[in-house]
Amino acid sequence: MADNCVFCKIIRGELPSFKVYEDDKTLAFLDIHPISAGHTLVIPKAETARNIFDVTPEDWMATTETARKVAHALEKAMHADGVNIMMNNREHAGQVVDHPHIHVIPRYKGDGLGQWQHKAYKEGEANSIKEKIRSAL
Ligand SMILES: [Zn+2]
């Protein structure tokens, strides 16, 4: 999977990127199709995982810590009024590149970006779902 992965190519320096941060385990660089200016992707450098379902706990923790640092930097450098941190996992959740990546997206007052629509649970549904999730943990 790593040979054709564009993020692995960025890690190996085979593709250019606008790097904003790098340490032993993670890399952060600008998304070339930003939702807003400063939209940054944070990835683990390990070339073995595709998403949240196979990333190691160590790589996940390192990646989320880098995302936290980037969020602070976006607030300071880009004067963001807020930040969305999100991750798409697998095709039907919108994942395009099969390498774990966290989006850190600066938000600005009046930026016009919408929020996801919320729904309501039917009577008893929330409790049933809670039980299913609890038993899977
Ligand atoms: Zn990769």
Q: According to the model, what pLDDT value does residue 2 have?
A: 64
What is the identity of the amino acid at 90?
R
**pLDDT on residue 53:** 98
Q: How far is the CA of 62 from the centre of ligand 1 (A)?
A: 16
Distance of CA 11 to the CA centre of its chain: 16
- The pLDDT value given to residue 115: 81
- Assigned token pair, 99: 């390498």
Q: What is the pLDDT of residue 114?
A: 84
In terms of phi and psi (left: phi > 0; alpha: psi -120 to 50; beta: otherwise), the region of 59 is alpha
**CA 9 to ligand 1 center in whole angstroms:** 7
Catalytic-residue membership of 101: yes
Ordered domains of the chain (ranges, CATH) = 6-136 (3.30.428.10)
Provide the token pair at 25. 């385990």
State the 10-residue block means of pLDDT for the chain, 137 residues long.
Answer: 86 96 98 95 96 98 98 96 97 97 96 89 95 95
Distance of CA 59 from the midpoint of ligand 1 (Å): 13
Calculate how far, in angstroms, residue 84's C-alpha sits from the geometric centre of ligand 1: 23
Q: How does DSSP assign 56-75, residue by residue?
A: -HHHHHHHHHHHHHHHHHHH
Q: What is the pTM of this model?
A: 0.93
The one catalytic residue among 39, 72, 99, 101: 101
User: What pLDDT does 137 receive?
Assistant: 96
